[in-house]
Structure 1
Amino acid sequence: MSDKEKSVVSFLIDDTPSAEQASKTFHDDYELNFQDFLERTVDERAAEDFFYSNNGVKKAGRRLRKKEGDLKSATATIQQFRAAHEKPLNTIAYLVGRCCRELGIDVKPVTRLKRLDTIIDKLQRKSLDGNTANATCVTNMNDIGGCRAIFPDLMSLELAISQLQGTVEKVGRVRIKDIDNYISNPKPNDCGYRSLHVIYRYDHTSGKSFNIEAQLRTRLQHLWATTVEIVDILEGTKIKTHSHSANEDKDDLQIKWEELLSIMSRYIADAEGAIELGQEDKDQFSIRLRELNDEINALGRLKTFRILSEKVEACCDDATEHVLLMVNENSLELIFSEEFDNYSKAISVYNAAEKMTRSHSGVNTLLISTKNMGQLSEAYPNYLGDCASFMLLLQEAMQFSGS
């Protein structure tokens, strides 16, 4: 990974629902049962009112993947297809919220439509799993419309999925297409991501159908996922989007962070009862976490995030695109900061500052994209609290001793 790639965040926080948006798109109290909700919100628009055909969407996706033909028209078609997911998405979010209310579980789903640039990026990636060529089709994407629900523990999550399955069986226009259980069966090359993904199929009265993804995860699993976002911002890594890539395509820092996160995922899964670790495994994990913390200063880096976040949030000038920070990790004091409205100048000053401070122990130089920080704040409103909670979990895991 080049210095330029390492220096500033290049990924987008876009596969994350916005809590602020969610409160505006469906009823908070879920007063109606789901069947009544469907009947009252039925949409009688004809198929032609959507201004696209599935074949047209597929062709637009192929043009964007190959970067050929009328890309402006192709983008407009994908945008129409994306926008059409809004009502089905809100319906599924209501379903999840209503079922949680019936069970007395204090959970409020949040929603998001996948960003257009993320859809295009997904189409143009060479591989989505690091092994096979990317052959995804826009109409087969399950997560253009997505909602997320955070449960207090694994037991409440399991109660909810049972309730959701029972409710859907009574409804004709909504069905469960698939369930991906990444809690008990996480992907082997995803550094420990755990969540339950429920793929719904929503049949519109026009005859068109939509896939909507609901992510159900526990609070501790959410802390882990939030930390992945934070690490990518702090370190300029691409753990969220490229953890499946071969190690030779990553720098040493990303490899070590991924190992730490993978161990913490198993530690959390054991604490929640999703898996059972033996005494020897726990001891070895504790030792390895301490080694990794010494090598990448994980706790120190996460501690600086509070200072970083406060400074970036204080930037009131809309022209500011990047903020350069020098932080003393030992005293948690901000040594120096400068705002930039030009990336080229920002990266030039950053590289010079990094060389100057390289020999100074405990001094971190960071270049942060204000856009990505803003997206993090919107998608994870409690990200500072989540970061602090994850640090406590990490300290607990590092100090574990079976003796």
Structure 2
Amino acid sequence: MTLDIKTTFKDIEESDVNQETLLSFSISKGAITKSGKFIRSYMEELKSPGIRTVSEEEFREALLVLKQYRENHIPYLRFFSSLLESKLNRLQIFEQSIVSSRSKRLESIANKLVVRKKMRLAQMDDVVGIRVTLPNISILNQFLYDNADCEIVNSECVFDDFHTTNYILEPKEDGYRGVHQIFKCKTDENSYVKLEMQIRTKIQHEWATVVEILGSLKNVSFKAGEGDKKYLHFLVLSSVLFSIEEGAATVAAYAELTPAEVCARLNQLDKELQVIEMLRRFNSIPSPKNNVEAKYYLIQLDLNTHETTILPYNDEHDANEDYVKLEQIYQGSDQFDVVLVSVDDVNKIEEAYPNYFLDSNDFISRYNTLLMKYS
């Protein structure tokens, strides 16, 4: 009988794992690479009949190695978060910033290995990640180019050859803007783990949030370029409008349009699609707030009732266990969304993850203001 993949992922997610201390990384690169190959091969072989090169036992063992590998990132994520907080405080912008972090689920990692066939597991940049949202482009640039005194760059535990991809200087074709930086945290003199930091302005965050919300409402991944091309066109044009407001580069294909032309096209599309009216109609009803400071928060959105529930956790194992259980329950349903996150302040959860509250009010307000300004 073929292994039940979903049950296997669930079992592995819920199994205990020993946390490693900072600068003590116990799994060799060879073991990580081998496990990634086994996971990819096993999942690919499930889709077609033929000779099995990876046994169920080898697949399970590979998942256990993957789980240990992911869990061993957590101390580095916490350490990196403390460096980030120190930098934000030194620049006196911590109170204006929103910081959140997450670790990628085992199933998501495995699926990415299948899609990215040439990627080795040890090369994956986003096993864990952190995001900082800043108030405006000026402060983002201040943060981005503060390297001489930067706590992160100057840390003895972080290699200084970090990689930056700036989607603000060159926005993606779909309108996405932000800065992605890949850092390498030392585990010993020669080894390291990768961490991804995403940096956005509030305007860029509002746009990215609406992409997620529209995707939830229309049950399609606009983020992945799927769905009605007219909605995708609306999203790109709204990104162009927001770029104009920030005095930043716009999507190359629309660079020749004047602000008034952008507004005219947006007005025409919105009359047909009623995007703004649809967004305005849907806001979730948050459950009574439990303002308990915790290490992790499980956010659950019910698209049937438009209710959002937040559960706090201090134990990572308990949080992950409940996360997996909910994903199992809601598997195959497009009416529920759930995510496990960490934020610097419980009161900033709605700002950090407005898409889980169907909250597009900031986007709508800015969109309408800019239409009046530039039309």
Alignment of 1:293 with 2:263, yes or no, is: no
Amino acid paired to 1:59: K
Q: Which string of whole-angstrom CA distances, capped at 9 and with x for unpartnered residues, describes residues 25-82 of structure 1?
A: xxxxxxxxxxxxxxxx98364x5xx2x3212211221222232523222211111111
Q: Which string of whole-angstrom CA distances, capped at 9 and with x for unpartnered residues, describes residues 211-242 of structure 1?
A: 111111111111111111111111101122x2
Q: Which string of whole-angstrom CA distances, capped at 9 and with x for unpartnered residues, describes residues 173-227 of structure 1?
A: 3124201111111223xx1111111111111137531011111111111111111
Alignment of 1:63 with 2:38, yes or no, is: yes
* In 2: Cα distance, 1:323 partner to 1:222 partner: 22
Name the Cα RMSD after superposition.
Answer: 3.3
Query: Residues 234-245 of structure 1: matches in 2 within 5 Å?
Result: 234-240=217-223, 242-243=224-225
Alignment of 1:381 with 2:350, yes or no, is: yes
Provide closer, same or farther for how the CA distance between residues 164 and 342 of structure 1 changes in structure 2, counting only shifts above 3 A: closer
* In 2: Cα distance, 1:278 partner to 1:185 partner: 11
Structure 1 unaligned runs (5+)?
1-40, 128-133, 244-249, 315-319, 327-340, 348-366
Q: Which string of whole-angstrom CA distances, capped at 9 and with x for unpartnered residues, describes residues 332-361 of structure 1?
A: xxxxxxxxx9989xx9xxxxxxxxxxxxxx
* In 2: Cα distance, 1:208 partner to 1:401 partner: 52
* Number of the residue aligned with 2:154: 170
Provide closer, same or farther for how the CA distance between residues 385 and 73 of structure 1 changes in structure 2, counting only shifts above 3 A: closer
Alignment of 1:396 with 2:375, yes or no, is: no
* Number of the residue aligned with 1:27: none
The one of 165, 175, 180 equivalent to 1:192 is 175
Contact 2:282 2:358 in 1 (8 A): no
Contact 2:102 2:341 in 1 (8 A): no
Q: How many residues align?
A: 295
Q: TM-score, normalised by structure 1?
A: 0.65
Q: Give the C-alpha shift of residue 135 in structure 1.
A: 2.1
* Number of the residue aligned with 2:106: 116
* Number of the residue aligned with 2:292: none
Q: Give the C-alpha shift of residue 368 in structure 1.
A: 5.1
* Number of the residue aligned with 1:213: 196
Amino acid paired to 1:113: S
* Number of the residue aligned with 2:314: none
The one of 56, 78, 81 equivalent to 2:69 is 81
Provide closer, same or farther for how the CA distance between residues 42 and 76 of structure 1 changes in structure 2, counting only shifts above 3 A: closer
Contact 1:234 1:368 in 2 (8 A): no
Contact 1:286 1:400 in 2 (8 A): no
The one of 261, 269, 272 equivalent to 2:243 is 269
Amino acid paired to 1:292: L
* In 1: Cα distance, 2:221 partner to 2:340 partner: 15
* In 2: Cα distance, 1:55 partner to 1:342 partner: 35
* In 2: Cα distance, 1:274 partner to 1:199 partner: 23
Contact 1:152 1:218 in 2 (8 A): yes
Contact 1:179 1:196 in 2 (8 A): yes
* Number of the residue aligned with 1:53: 28
Q: Give the C-alpha shift of residue 386 in structure 1.
A: 5.0
Amino acid paired to 1:177: F
Q: Give the C-alpha shift of residue 395 in structure 1.
A: 2.2
Contact 1:192 1:262 in 2 (8 A): yes
* Number of the residue aligned with 1:34: none
Secondary structure of 1:163's aligned partner: coil
* In 2: Cα distance, 1:43 partner to 1:378 partner: 19
* Number of the residue aligned with 1:90: 78
Q: Give the C-alpha shift of residue 275 in structure 1.
A: 2.8
Larger relative contact order, structure 1 or 2 (CA cutoff 8 Å, min sep 6)? 1
Amino acid paired to 2:172: K
* In 2: Cα distance, 1:206 partner to 1:399 partner: 57
Amino acid paired to 2:363: F
Q: Give the C-alpha shift of residue 266 in structure 1.
A: 1.6
Secondary structure of 1:171's aligned partner: coil
Q: Give the C-alpha shift of residue 398 in structure 1.
A: 3.9
Provide closer, same or farther for how the CA distance between residues 378 and 90 of structure 1 changes in structure 2, counting only shifts above 3 A: closer
Q: Which string of whole-angstrom CA distances, capped at 9 and with x for unpartnered residues, describes residues 139-177 of structure 1?
A: 111111211111111111111122246435533331242
The one of 22, 42, 50 equivalent to 1:43 is 22
* Number of the residue aligned with 1:179: 164
* In 1: Cα distance, 2:263 partner to 2:39 partner: 46
* Number of the residue aligned with 1:369: 335
Provide closer, same or farther for how the CA distance between residues 295 and 165 of structure 1 changes in structure 2, counting only shifts above 3 A: farther
Contact 1:226 1:387 in 2 (8 A): yes
Contact 1:322 1:368 in 2 (8 A): no
More displaced 10-residue stretch of structure 1: 114-123 or 167-176: 167-176
Contact 1:43 1:205 in 2 (8 A): no
Structure 2 unaligned runs (5+)?
1-19, 46-53, 289-299, 307-327, 344-348
Q: Which string of whole-angstrom CA distances, capped at 9 and with x for unpartnered residues, describes residues 245-303 of structure 1?
A: xxxxx443xx2222111111121122112237989521221111112212221012111
Provide closer, same or farther for how the CA distance between residues 303 and 386 of structure 1 changes in structure 2, counting only shifts above 3 A: closer
* Number of the residue aligned with 2:17: none
Q: TM-score, normalised by structure 2?
A: 0.69
* Number of the residue aligned with 1:102: 90
